[in-house]
Amino acid sequence: MVEPIQIAVVGSGYVGLVAAVCFAEIGHSVICVDNDEGKVAALQGGNTLIHENHLPALLERYRNTRVRFTTDLGEATRACQAIFVAVGTPQSDTGDADLSYVEAVASEIARSINGYKVIIEKSTVPVYTNEWIRRVIERNGVARDSFDVVSNPEFLREGTAVEDFLHPDRIVVGTDSERASELLDAIYSPLTGGEYYQQPTAIPGCCSRLNPPILLQTSTKSAEIIKHASNAFLALKISFINAVSNLCEAADANVEQVARGIGLDSRIGPKFLRPGIGYGGSCFPKDIAAFRSVAEQMGVDFSLLSEVEKININQKKRFLSKVRSALWTLRGKRLAVLGLAFKGDTDDIRESPAIDLVSMLLAEGCTVIAYDPAAMERAEVKLPRSSQMQYANGIEEAATDADALLILTDWQEFARLDLMQLHTLMRYPIVIDGRNLYDPKQMTENGFTYLSIGRPSAAPLHEAARLGV
């Protein structure tokens, strides 16, 4: 293994906590800093606080050894060579990224610098943030040659974040300093040199000793733009295929077939061509808004991003119309909802289209009985229990006596429903699938009226005439 490097990670959310344990996994010594004493105590006790594959095992393996948690940023700054900033950059009222947390961290780091340090942006930030961090530190009296600022954006997907960190498509390092570049090279060398993948306990994934990830060196400004541009392009692909799905519905075509035909083109590829109820989560919505805002401030017309947002918003409204088309009136209807997280394999409900749709359904006077394998505790904060809003302990409980069942999140267990049992539990065998988890023919053969995204509605013969299919 390489010589361990002392690393501080500021922030213990999805990015910070995953980065901290993964840096430990590849051999480094990490201090993870958070100003929330309750969160630090929970992490010290082994509670990851988030639903993420591999994370509990890695935290248990390294906590209080290679990874320790503290609220003392000054101590961490003095002890470490590299300081990764992974604090939140929420969307402000104007659509800009709120960088006040980044500024506060930079100021506190400056007060504790006791030798050469490399401060690394890990949060998603707009271009020129590195320059502002540098200014803040210099204004606090730190000599210019005592630090460098580097942009090292993350490309983690919730649910597979640990694997994404250890088996990345690329590692982007934006720096204008050779000294800082050498330190980042050393930090990531267990991955880029392939050494990590030879370990018997290595997390499996697409990379290997013979096929290690590449480290792409760029300027700091280019690295900052790469992150926002990547997320914007992925959101664009999702909105594009959702717009195509609407055309397919109007033309009585099948969007799954269309998406496959598009995705087989090597210039396009199949990823993110899955139609649905729209994108959500902590990244895409705020990053699109922030990227558009930065472009406007620089006099660049990026109205394409406004259309991406518009399509995403309308997709939820179209799904509500599907529910209404299947049930006619909504007031008083009992609806089973499967999925509250913005995607499968996570408990994150931030900007979840499922949460938005449940809110719409409640406003229409429906009673909702919801189930999600991981996100119900978080969802209950947004959607408190009431006579209208109920939470089930499982799929069967949610489906019992339901007028219709709605699939809103692509958890794999929702793709393996016992259709015969489901048919007997529901008042009416109607499934409205916002994630296209089932084949329409399979559903009609099991007696269901089935509506999905971008495909013709399907129903048993006695229902088909009413739906016009």
Which residues are catalytic, by number?
Answer: 283
Cβ count near 428 (within 10 Å): 16
Asked if 437 and 338 count as a contact pair (C-beta separation under 8 A), the reply is: no
Cβ count near 143 (within 10 Å): 10
The sheet with strand 147-151 has its strands ordered as 67-70, 29-33, 6-10, 82-85, 117-121, 147-151, 170-174, 214-218
Q: What would the two tokens of residue 286 be?
A: 């705020």
Q: How many CA atoms lie within 13 Å of 76's alpha carbon, on the beta-carbon side?
A: 28
| Local structure of residue 145 (DSSP, 8 states) | G
How many Å apart are CA 346 and CA 341, to the nearest integer? 7
Question: DSSP for 378-416?
Answer: HHHHHS---SSEEE-SSHHHHHTT-SEEEE-S--GGGGG
Asked if 278 and 312 count as a contact pair (C-beta separation under 8 A), the reply is: yes
Q: What would the two tokens of residue 313 be?
A: 């918003």
How many Å apart are CA 426 and CA 421, to the nearest integer? 9
Q: What would the two tokens of residue 414 be?
A: 């929702």
Question: What is the SS3 assignment for 120?
Answer: strand
Burial classification of residue 303, based on how many CB atoms lie within 10 Å of its CB (0-12 exposed, 13-18 middle, 19 or more buried): exposed
Q: How many CA atoms lie within 13 Å of 304's alpha carbon, on the beta-carbon side?
A: 11
